[in-house]
Amino acid sequence: MNSQKIFYLILGFFIYLIVQVLLLKNMVIFGMIFCFLYVLYLLLLPLEMKIVTMLLISFVLGISVDIFYDTMGIHTASLLVIGFIREQWIKLLTPTGGYDEDLQPTFLNMGFGWFLTYSLPLFFIHHFIFFSIESWGTDLFIPVIQKTASSAIFVFIISIIVQLLFYRRRRGV
């Protein structure tokens, strides 16, 4: 990765973090739909990113959000799981020809169907882990499922809108 791409990755990290903690922190719709858009940053990292780097970024982003949300590691734990399973999930979705080198897995680059099968299960896993840890021991399984499903679908819709507004399609070489 060249220095320009590293600069954009760091810039994107801070933009997602600032948007999450300043704009989306108190955004709760109907008391059960939460917007954890920062997960999208992790999902849009280049496909060939190594697992150690992914886990490090997941940890730093998660702990940063936890500091502002005062949630004692719930965001970190949820993001670390996503950072850990992302590479295996991508391998399951990889076509026989593979992907282009240094490809960012956006909706615009990969298509709606691929992005849906890639991101929505990861959003569900993240949200399920987050809400399960949040309500640990209170036997509120149905509300956890309701929050998980509604929040994951909402974040998926917002992620499509964000990509349409702020991302570009990769041009062929």
Query: CB of 51 within 8 A of CB of 87?
Result: yes
- The secondary structure of residue 95, as a DSSP letter, is -
SS3 of 168, please? coil
Check whether 173 has a pLDDT greater than 60.
no
Are 66 and 72 in contact by the 8 Å Cβ rule? The answer is: yes
**Distance (Å, whole) CA 92 – CA 95:** 8
- pLDDT tens for each residue of 144-154: 999 999 999 99
Residue 147's pLDDT is what? 94
CA distance 84 to 76: 12
Domain range annotation of the chain: 3-166
Q: What is the mean pLDDT of residues 6-34?
A: 92
Quote the pLDDT of residue 151. Answer: 95
- Res. 170: pLDDT tops 90: no
State pLDDT tens for residues 70-121. Answer: 989 999 999 999 999 999 999 898 887 877 777 789 888 888 999 999 999 9
d(CA 168, CA 163): 8
Report the predicted TM-score, pTM, of the whole model to 2 decimal places.
Answer: 0.91
Look at residue 128 in the predicted model and tell me its pLDDT. 95
